Amino acid sequence: MQTRAGTPRPITRYGNPVLHRRCADVTVFDDDLQQLIADMFASMAAADGVGLAANQIGVDARVFVVDCPDDTGNHVVAHVVNPVLDPPQDRGLEVDSEGCLSVPGVRADVGRPATASVVGVDMHGNAVRIDGTGLLARCLQHETDHLDGLLYVDRLPAKKRKKMLTESADAPSVGVTE
């Protein structure tokens, strides 16, 4: 849970190298990490998002935040440091519309498992696990993908991805601007 007031930071857009490589594991659990997480919550709120990975604000660290409901109406507000996606038992895909703060102005249908679990630690190094269904499951997978250098548009056929990135290039940025 957020512990201090954060400052919104600009959202990094598709094409920035920090979005296209695996982020570094977090090894230091200090005030700087706590402030990063607070800034991530503030940045996500300013951009009207439901999830945000650290590299989306230009930080090379395996951290994400969520403020997202599951399909039962349970609303989860949390952060995970060094998350690892635990594959679901049922590998069937659910296709739904997906968007991204780093690719503003466009959405596409993407197939993902209907349930997801992520394990990692919190800002103090304590073990955490988040189990999600519905939008929360999609968000957990989407944010973990970010930390692995993969954006949802990278999962699309090349022609569709190129068209969407062209459209997104003309869309205004979301959240705060520099």
Q: Is the dihedral of CA 44, 59, 15, 109 positive or negative?
A: negative
- The HSE-up count of residue 146 (CA atoms within 13 Å, CB side) is 31
Q: Which amino acid is at 134?
A: G
Q: Is the dihedral of CA 118, 60, 169, 38 positive or negative?
A: positive
* Calpha distance 59→26 (Å, rounded): 11
Helix ranges (H only) for the chain are 31-46, 134-147, 158-169
143 is catalytic: yes
Q: Which amino acid is at 131?
A: D
Q: Using alpha carbons, select from 178, 177, 174 the residue that is nearest to residue 50.
A: 174
- Out of 94, 143, 167, 178, the active site residue is 143
Which are the catalytic amino acids? 143
